[in-house]
Chain A
Amino acid sequence: MKEKIKQLKNDFFNEIEKISDLTALEKIEIKYLGRKAGELTKILRQLRDLPVTERQEIGVLANQLKKELAQKIREVFQLLKNQASQSAVFDVTVPGLKPTEGHKHLVTQAIEEIVEIFERIGFSRRRYPEVEWEWYAFESLNMPPNHPARDEWETFFIDLKPVGPKGQRILTPHTSSGQVREMEKGQLPIRMINISKCYRRQIDISHVPMFHQFEGLLIDQQVTIADLKGTLDYFVKQFFGSNRRARIRPSHFQFTEPSFEVDVSCGLCDGQGCKMCKAGWLELGGAGMIHPNVLKAGKVDPKKYSGFAFGWGVERCYLMKAGLSIPDIRMLYQNDLRFLNQF
């Protein structure tokens, strides 16, 4: 048996010296190490028929040889491969082998970016119901039943009876419905960011019945309009670019007083005014100092605490930032991979 092993080894090394291509190398590998009928495999298989005394010695020899052969085959393989690639024309212009990549939806990308920016200044994200009581979406926000301001939201109602003072169940038309829920937790100060699906009864080239808003809420002692201005400016610079500026203008919302419209300076003309903007500015969304009635609804003492809130559309903001001229906002929710895979 020992002899046989020795012979095998000699044969192998003789043969392998002569070959010059990978096909021949493969043949040799099969001949000696093939799983079914390799010469060495056969020997290894016969081991258990040997008397115990011999088995150990031969076993070690055979296994050693197996390793040796495998090692040699690897070496020759590398050698031949290198020769092959040297002789063939090495074309560096052939496309690289890219790993298969997936794609996050644009909305997820926007949300992650926004969250990251606000987390850096101490805001943390919250989750509130998408199906909400009217009380949280309107009444607690200083909009009593029948208030005309309620008409500004094209609200979807749930087909169930109203329940006491909480009113009807609705698909929340804005993330502001989280404000009083956050206050009710009774933990002050508050720095929360709420990004959620919102729903309004409209669908056309620039409206989808389901969209996303992000809402910031800060409540503390001695919060000033200057704090809101600073926070908005910080966000605008982080999100849109360091050369951009935010400004606030008077506006009106029932749940803030004063209320503001927030603008960001146009990135194309730097606030000078061009075709893409309104006199140098682009409208971002609403903001304001929280109305004392809203603080009261959340059981926060308006004499001690004040705060600000802002809430804007995620899709709108992101498309503005990316400068993506997507002709129809509904494309975001049609899930055509030819679209989604671009981002």
Chain B
Amino acid sequence: MNLKISYNWLREYFKTNQSVTDFAKEFSLKSQSVEKIKLIGQGLGGVVVGKILEIEKHPNADRLSLAKVDIGRRKPLELIFGQMAKVVVGDQLPVAVAPVKLPTGIEVQAANIRGVNSEGMFCLNSELGLSDRDEVMFFDASVAPGTSIVDALKLNDYLLEIEVTSNRPDAMSVVGLAREAAAVFGKKFLYREPKPSLVIPAKAGIQAAGSPIRSGMTKNKQNLLLKVEVKEPKLCPRYQAMVMTNVKVGPSPLWLQMRLILAGLRPINNLVDITNYVLLELGQPLHVFDYDKLNGQKIIVRPAKNGEKIMALDGKNYDLNENNLIIADQQNPVAIAGVMGGEFSATTAETKTIVFESANFQPLTVRKTTRAINLRSESSDLFEKGLSTFSTKLAILRAVELTQKLADGEVASSLIDLGAKAALPTKINFDLANVKQYLALEIPEDKIRKILESLGFKVKGKKILNLEVPWWRANDITAQHDIIEEIARIYGYDELPRTLPSGELPGLVEDSSFAWESLAKNLLVGWGFTEVYNYSMVSAQLLTDLDFPVKKAVRIANPLNEEMAYLRLTLLPQILVNIKINQKNFSRLKIFELSHVYLTENNKLPKELLRLTAAVGGGKDNFLAVKGIAELLLEKFGINNYQFKITDENCPIWEKGKGLDVYQENNFLGQFGLIRSDVLEKFDLDFPVACLDFDFTTLVKLANKQKIYVPMPEFPDVNRDLAIVVDQKITWQEVSELVNQSNPLLEKVEYLSTFVSPALGENKKSLAFRLTFRAPDRTLKVEEVEAVVEKVVSSLEKKFGARLR
């Protein structure tokens, strides 16, 4: 949570002469991170308090008015203003005297607007950069016109934005941060607990309500004027309340308003402002009710009834149900517990008697309610983190103290206090040997003691310290490792040495699939392919486009959108989409992806299988290009005894007869071939595309790093090139298989080329190939070779009617 607080306010509780940047640096390294520092008064030198002496309508513009303003000079300033805020004669407010440039960048120049002079501008808080709100800060008569607002508002200050981690709600306040700062800088923590007078003046109650006001829970009194009942003590472990009367509702003093404004809060009236001020100061949310508006003068903490409604202070209506904890009077909800008060019971200018609530609510119930009704506040943000039940008392006493001071309020009840009171402090025995063991460094015992004491621990014992955890840290400090952290951070992480871990060699070796993955990527990139990464999430449409069964895909319950509702079963469709988006810029495309696909399983996690999909688009001979890739890849993976089989012609992906399945024995390794033309059309592809789609998980299983050494031949080989003319339907495989059987002297048969021409005859083609002959024990004689060649030719003639060209 990010807190905006004034540096001067913070320094009221620990004295330092450090510059704000030095403070921020050190504090960030040892406590909470200071995210921003803003110099507040900067650039506001030209803005003064002005008192409105006269207001007239602008003679030539309906929406404009002109004012004569006393800014402490002999001659009043004349200025023109619009309708952003309602002002009347006698108001005192900030005036920018032209020419001046405000910190928000606004330039105020003397001007003549439709015949009237304007020598300055009334300024909203937003224009002065004091807050984001378009509100006017009014000054009371104690401020002389012409006073610089920097002086009037004590703006020689810095606004710190501090990010407090979620485990430290105790530091989400000025006092909490000051306590940290005092520990970090080794200074005295100057905070003093509030001690207001709790004596109920004799006639206070009678004046206010016509009858004596007494505490609701005091046993011996008969006329209980405020009765508090907590029906869900688990959800509301502590509830404190106090009645005050004869309050004078009005604006808060400027210094208080200013602190709220800088923190991003809006001043309302002194009573509401006091609750917000205490929230900033102590991190404990408070609420104030108008006592006379509480039906039956009762407060009941209970779950809402289904169908109950409340209009909250934000002016909106919220529907409540039994899962929402509320504060109710005898009849109706008056506040959403820990989140926001209700409009009906709010204080107004007429309010005379009030009830302060200072309570502790269980984090989970507050959290569930804020999620359910979609309403958050400064209060709920704090309660959700889990506050100490001990902080309610300090907060309510502080509110009483401030109300006595700022609103002339009188205490009209004793302090009502329901729920947890005497939780025992957490005790931890801390073995000092831990310090060396975790920090690789000795820290003197008295230094450790000082650090812990500065953080509020009570420290006893030697070598093994008996620690008493301060109540405000009870939630986050539970064991020795937490103590290590406290010592280490305040001592300074920077002071710890840096070492590389020593120790035994770990036993587990790396999964070999990573090496194969990297080999495949290196090879493909070497062969000119570019690697793509697509999202794992796809639409149902993309799967059905290639006839993949959506039922087998993992469905996301809360997808970002329907385009990303399923986990992919295949990489192919996205690869085709990739080609589509690139085809306008490239005439030939070679891309691949190596990623997981996901197959849903009933009560288990889905199967995650690696797939390798590559595509070649544009250019010629795409089929042969992917076939070559497939063959070479298999070779590099040490997989030799594979077979290609024509894919089932009903397969919706591959062009009929132009897709091949790859098998090694019974293992299906994948497919490759030309993409069907109707698929190309569906994906809007302009050119033929050939793809290869391998089950990489199986490929890795079969892969073999074993290298084989074959002795170099001792005797030379003899080559013969042949070109034969055969029917076009005769395949190379048929020809080569026949040739291969011919003679043991034939070492290999290599395909050279295919050539088709009408001159060869109808439906004929010419196949050229090279025969290599070798004997292991001698140099071959020409006749031997010729004899085999003749035999080959004649068997081709016999079997396929081939003739030599």
Chain A interface (Cβ < 8 Å from any Cβ of B): 35-36, 47-48, 55-56, 59-60, 63, 100-105, 107-108, 112, 115, 121-122, 124-127, 129-133, 146, 148-149, 156-160, 163, 169, 171, 185, 187, 189-192, 197, 199, 201, 203, 209-210, 218, 220-227, 229-231, 233-234, 247-252, 257-261, 279, 289, 291-292, 306, 332-338, 340-341
CA distance A47 to B720 in the complex (A): 15
> Is A229 a contact of B497 with CB atoms below 8 Å?
yes
CA distance A223 to B555 in the complex (A): 42
Chain A residues near B596 (CB-CB < 8 A): 130, 197
> Is B782 a contact of A60 with CB atoms below 8 Å?
yes
> Is A101 a contact of B525 with CB atoms below 8 Å?
yes
Q: Which of B297-305, B498-506, B639-647 contacts A (4 or more CB under 8 A)?
A: B498-506
Instruction: Name the one of B489, B555, B605 contacting A250, with C-beta atoms under 8 angstroms.
Output: B489
Q: Contacts A148-B384, A220-B504 hold; do A340 and B605 have CB atoms under 8 A apart?
A: no
B484 within 8 A of A: yes
> Is A125 a contact of B510 with CB atoms below 8 Å?
yes
Chain B residues near A36 (CB-CB < 8 A): 805
Chain A residues near B321 (CB-CB < 8 A): none
CA distance A149 to B166 in the complex (A): 8
Which chain A residue lies CB-closest to B507? Answer: A187
Q: Contacts A146-B364, A209-B537, A210-B535 hold; do A229 and B493 have CB atoms under 8 A apart?
A: yes
> Is B489 a contact of A333 with CB atoms below 8 Å?
no
Which chain A residue lies CB-closest to B497? Answer: A226
Instruction: A127-B513, A203-B560 are known; give 15 further A-B pairs, CB within 8 A.
Output: A35-B723, A124-B506, A125-B510, A125-B511, A158-B556, A197-B536, A209-B564, A225-B438, A226-B439, A229-B496, A230-B500, A230-B501, A250-B31, A336-B582, A340-B530
Min CB distance B572 to A, Å, is 14
Instruction: Name the one of B28, B511, B526 contacting A249, with C-beta atoms under 8 angstroms.
Output: B28
Chain B residues near A279 (CB-CB < 8 A): 21, 24-25
Chain B residues near A105 (CB-CB < 8 A): 531-533
Taking chain A's interface residues, is the majority helix, strand, or loop, or is none over half, making it mixed? mixed
B709 within 8 A of A: no
Which chain A residue lies CB-closest to B567? Answer: A131
B427 within 8 A of A: no
> Is A258 a contact of B508 with CB atoms below 8 Å?
no
> Is A230 a contact of B498 with CB atoms below 8 Å?
yes
> Is A250 a contact of B557 with CB atoms below 8 Å?
no
Which chain A residue lies CB-closest to B437? Answer: A222
Min CB distance A58 to B, Å, is 10
Q: Which of B141-149, B409-417, B583-591, B737-745 contacts A (4 or more CB under 8 A)?
A: B583-591
Range for the number of chain B residues in contact with chain A:
35 or more
CA distance A223 to B501 in the complex (A): 7
Which chain B residue lies CB-closest to A185? Answer: B508
CA distance A260 to B28 in the complex (A): 11
B30 within 8 A of A: yes
Which chain A residue lies CB-closest to B585? Answer: A338
CA distance A279 to B36 in the complex (A): 10
Q: Contacts A63-B782, A163-B603, A335-B578 hold; do A220 and B503 have CB atoms under 8 A apart?
A: yes
Q: Which of B750-805 contact A (CB under 8 A)?
A: 782-783, 786, 790, 805
CA distance A82 to B101 in the complex (A): 77
Q: Contacts A148-B385, A199-B536 hold; do A225 and B531 have CB atoms under 8 A apart?
A: no
Which chain B residue lies CB-closest to A247? Answer: B494
Instruction: Name the one of B567, B605, B783 contacting A55, with C-beta atoms under 8 angstroms.
Output: B783
> Is B525 a contact of A248 with CB atoms below 8 Å?
no
* Most B-side CB within 10 Å, residue of A133, A234, A257, A338: A257
Which chain A residue lies CB-closest to B789? Answer: A48
Chain A residues near B53 (CB-CB < 8 A): none
Min CB distance B31 to A, Å, is 6
Min CB distance B509 to A, Å, is 6
> Is B503 a contact of A221 with CB atoms below 8 Å?
yes
Chain B residues near A210 (CB-CB < 8 A): 535-537
B2 within 8 A of A: no
Min CB distance A259 to B, Å, is 8
Min CB distance B747 to A, Å, is 19
CA distance A137 to B605 in the complex (A): 13
Q: Which of B453-508 contact A (CB under 8 A)?
A: 479, 481-482, 484-485, 488-489, 493-494, 496-501, 503-508
> Is B558 a contact of A157 with CB atoms below 8 Å?
yes
Instruction: Name the one of B496, B504, B524 contacting A189, with C-beta atoms under 8 angstroms.
Output: B504
Instruction: Name the one of A158, A203, A234 contacting B500, with C-beta atoms under 8 angstroms.
Output: A234
> Is A306 a contact of B438 with CB atoms below 8 Å?
yes
Min CB distance A157 to B, Å, is 4
> Is B481 a contact of A225 with CB atoms below 8 Å?
no
> Is B521 a contact of A252 with CB atoms below 8 Å?
no
CA distance A55 to B783 in the complex (A): 9
> Is B536 a contact of A148 with CB atoms below 8 Å?
no
> Is A102 a contact of B524 with CB atoms below 8 Å?
yes
Instruction: Name the one of A130, A160, A257, A332 contacting B608, with C-beta atoms under 8 angstroms.
Output: A130
Which chain A residue lies CB-closest to B533? Answer: A105
Min CB distance A277 to B, Å, is 13
CA distance A314 to B364 in the complex (A): 34
3 closest Cβ pairs, A-B complex: A252-B165, A258-B485, A226-B440
Min CB distance A49 to B, Å, is 12
> Is A337 a contact of B506 with CB atoms below 8 Å?
no
B658 within 8 A of A: no
Chain B residues near A126 (CB-CB < 8 A): 510-511
Chain A residues near B537 (CB-CB < 8 A): 209-210
CA distance A105 to B529 in the complex (A): 11
Min CB distance B781 to A, Å, is 8
Chain B residues near A125 (CB-CB < 8 A): 510-511, 514
Which chain B residue lies CB-closest to A157? Answer: B557
Which chain B residue lies CB-closest to A59? Answer: B782
Instruction: Name the one of B482, B506, B529, B564 contacting A122, with C-beta atoms under 8 angstroms.
Output: B506
Could you list some 16 contacts between A and B, CB below 8 A? A56-B782, A56-B783, A102-B526, A102-B529, A131-B567, A148-B363, A157-B557, A158-B554, A159-B556, A187-B507, A197-B596, A227-B440, A230-B501, A258-B484, A279-B25, A340-B532
Instruction: Name the one of A131, A199, A248, A337 contacting B585, with C-beta atoms under 8 angstroms.
Output: A337
Which chain A residue lies CB-closest to B718? Answer: A63
CA distance A159 to B32 in the complex (A): 39
Chain B residues near A222 (CB-CB < 8 A): 437, 503
> Is B556 a contact of A251 with CB atoms below 8 Å?
no
CA distance A170 to B98 in the complex (A): 61
> Is A261 a contact of B33 with CB atoms below 8 Å?
yes
> Is A257 a contact of B481 with CB atoms below 8 Å?
yes
> Is A189 a contact of B525 with CB atoms below 8 Å?
no
Instruction: Name the one of A55, A261, A291 contacting B481, with C-beta atoms under 8 angstroms.
Output: A291
Q: Contacts A130-B536, A185-B508 hold; do A289 and B481 have CB atoms under 8 A apart?
A: yes
Which chain B residue lies CB-closest to A208? Answer: B535
> Is A171 a contact of B556 with CB atoms below 8 Å?
yes
> Is B441 a contact of A226 with CB atoms below 8 Å?
yes
* Most A-side CB within 10 Å, residue of B29, B513, B531, B537: B531
> Is B560 a contact of A209 with CB atoms below 8 Å?
yes
> Is A249 a contact of B33 with CB atoms below 8 Å?
yes
Chain B residues near A100 (CB-CB < 8 A): 528
B293 within 8 A of A: no
> Is A131 a contact of B501 with CB atoms below 8 Å?
no
> Is B558 a contact of A226 with CB atoms below 8 Å?
no
> Is B534 a contact of A335 with CB atoms below 8 Å?
yes
> Is A229 a contact of B783 with CB atoms below 8 Å?
no
B59 within 8 A of A: no
> Is B536 a contact of A249 with CB atoms below 8 Å?
no
> Is B556 a contact of A122 with CB atoms below 8 Å?
no
> Is B525 a contact of A104 with CB atoms below 8 Å?
yes
CA distance A3 to B444 in the complex (A): 110
CA distance A56 to B783 in the complex (A): 7
CA distance A338 to B581 in the complex (A): 11
B167 within 8 A of A: yes
CA distance A332 to B714 in the complex (A): 55
Q: Which of B517-552 contact A (CB under 8 A)?
A: 518, 521, 524-537
> Is B32 a contact of A292 with CB atoms below 8 Å?
no
Q: Which of B151-189 contact A (CB under 8 A)?
A: 165-168
> Is A131 a contact of B498 with CB atoms below 8 Å?
no
